Amino acid sequence: MSQITHRTETRQVKVGNLVIGGNDQVVVQSMTTTKTDDIEATVSEIHRLEEAGCQIVRVACPDIPAAEAIPEIKKRINIPLVVDIHFDYRMALMAIEGGADKIRINPGNIGTREKVEEVVKAAKAKQIPIRIGVNAGSLERHILEKYGYPTADGMVESALHHIKILEELDFHDIVVSMKASDVHLAIEAYEKAAQAFSYPLHLGITESGTQFAGSVKSSAGLGAILSKGIGSTLRISLSADPVEEVKVGRELLKTFGLASNAATLISCPTCGRIEIDLISIANEVEEYISTIKAPVKVAVLGCAVNGPGEAREADIGIAGAKGEGLLFRHGEIIRKVPEEIMVDELKKEVDKIAEEHYAA
Ligand code: SF4
């Protein structure tokens, strides 16, 4: 792994109460699917996303009613709010004035120099960052003409074009995304971007598909990028309830040891030695720990033959035995519990360990 692509070497940018970049944290982001001007629906979806562990939320701002809804939405949610604007600088100004914690707009698309200056001045006054969103599917015409088709070099050139406009106005609170639907292209574009500039990168594979296929495709692509030490925020884009995006994003970060605010489930694949109804127990425990905001490792294993030893890294676990469960901590059995109450006992132990983390 190249030194200069490590995420700790990026510039730090504040988004609400979060610091993006300059550290080894990767923040999970999602985007609402409601009409932004339907304040009730948007706020309610954001609350569901917060509950699932979403740390930053983005809303689309396609028209004036959406821009007018920003102050009220902002007032009623607890996580930083990003407002996505395409071209219209007036909406960018309204969003900034309305309390957006970050705006996503490409300065090269705003229009005249005066309009760009006005947006940058407003963002500076409120100390909020601007995300430049490069998308392989909508590269500038002069770049497409130069390269013939969307390439990683063309995407980096597009990013640098927008970055230059902001830097010339002495604006540096910048986050950049380099989205592509093609996984190879996205990986190469993010690698080249991490070499070309030090602004934090927001990761995403765009139009990745349905809940199942999109989760696999996004995880494959973003996993490759994360493993190179690239990325400070990420969004899994799915044609599904955005809560699913958050769940997949958190799971992906857990896989790389990059989520300090989520519990992990270890469960065995089951085999002929199984002594309990493991699949339904694993699903119940997974659901239970999904809202825990501490790095607790929980194991659920079908039997005690290989069970506790195989899950030695678990903070707490249960292994099935005849008519009972064996509760274990870090591979050591601590007590036996009757089958009927073993899941409840496991949950109590999980809560205790999570409390210890919260108190620490
Ligand atoms: Fe089979 Fe037991 Fe291993 Fe599960 S823990 S796969 S039931 S041997």
Q: pLDDT tens digits, residue range 316-328?
A: 999 988 888 999 8
The tokens describing 211, both together, are: 């809940």
pLDDT at 3 over 50: no
- Which pLDDT value is given to residue 5? 59
Binding-site residues for [4Fe-4S] cluster, in ranges, read 268, 271, 303, 310
pLDDT at 242 over 80: yes
The tokens describing 153, both together, are: 């070099």
- Mean pLDDT over 243-249 rounds to 96
Instruction: Give this prediction's pTM.
Output: 0.90
pLDDT at 60 over 80: yes
CB atoms near residue 137 (< 10 Å): 11
Please work out whether the CB of residue 301 comes within 6 Å of at least one atom of ligand 1.
yes
Q: How far is CA 22 from the centre of its chain?
A: 17
pLDDT at 331 over 80: no
**Residue that wins the pLDDT comparison between 131 and 305:** 131
Tell which phi-psi region holds residue 148, choosing left (phi > 0), alpha (psi between -120 and 50) or beta: left
Q: Which of 292, 206, 219 is nearest to 256 (CA)?
A: 219
Per-residue pLDDT band for 17 (boundaries 50, 70, 90) equals: very high
Per-residue pLDDT band for 273 (boundaries 50, 70, 90) equals: confident
For the CA of 268, the closest atom of ligand 1 is 4
Q: Which three-class secondary structure state does DSSP give residue 7?
A: helix
In degrees and rounded to multiples of 5, residue 300 shows phi and psi of: -130, 115
DSSP bridge partners of 22: none
Give, for ligand 1, the residue of 278, 310, 312, 333 to mutate: max count of ligand atoms closer than 8 Å to Cβ: 310
For residues 107 and 25, give the distance between their C-alpha atoms in angstroms, rounded to a whole number.
Answer: 27
Residue 39 · residue 72 · CB < 8 Å:
yes
Q: pLDDT tens digits, residue range 70-94?
A: 999 999 999 999 999 998 999 999 9
For the CA of 301, the closest atom of ligand 1 is 5
Output b/e per residue, 211-222; b: 16+ Cβ within 10 A. beebbebbbebb
Per-residue pLDDT band for 357 (boundaries 50, 70, 90) equals: confident
- Which pLDDT value is given to residue 310? 67
Distance of CA 248 from the midpoint of ligand 1 (Å):
26
Return the percentage of the chain with pLDDT > 70, whole number.
Answer: 97
- Which pLDDT value is given to residue 1? 40
CB atoms near residue 240 (< 10 Å): 17
The tokens describing 12, both together, are: 């730090």
Burial class (CB in 10 A: 0-12, 13-18, 19+), 328: buried
- Which pLDDT value is given to residue 4? 43
- Mean pLDDT over 195-215 rounds to 94
For the CA of 272, the closest atom of ligand 1 is 1
| Domains of the chain and any CATH numbers | 3-255 (3.20.20.20), 264-359 (3.30.413.10)
Tabulate helix, strand, coil % of the chain (nearest 5). 45, 20, 35
Across 171-175, 228-232, 356-360, least confident range: 356-360
Q: Using the 8-state DSSP alphabet, how is residue 5 labeled?
A: G
Radius of gyration of the chain (CA): 23
Q: Which three-class secondary structure state does DSSP give residue 62?
A: coil
Q: pLDDT tens digits, residue range 105-158?
A: 999 889 899 999 999 999 999 999 999 999 999 999 999 999 999 999 999 999
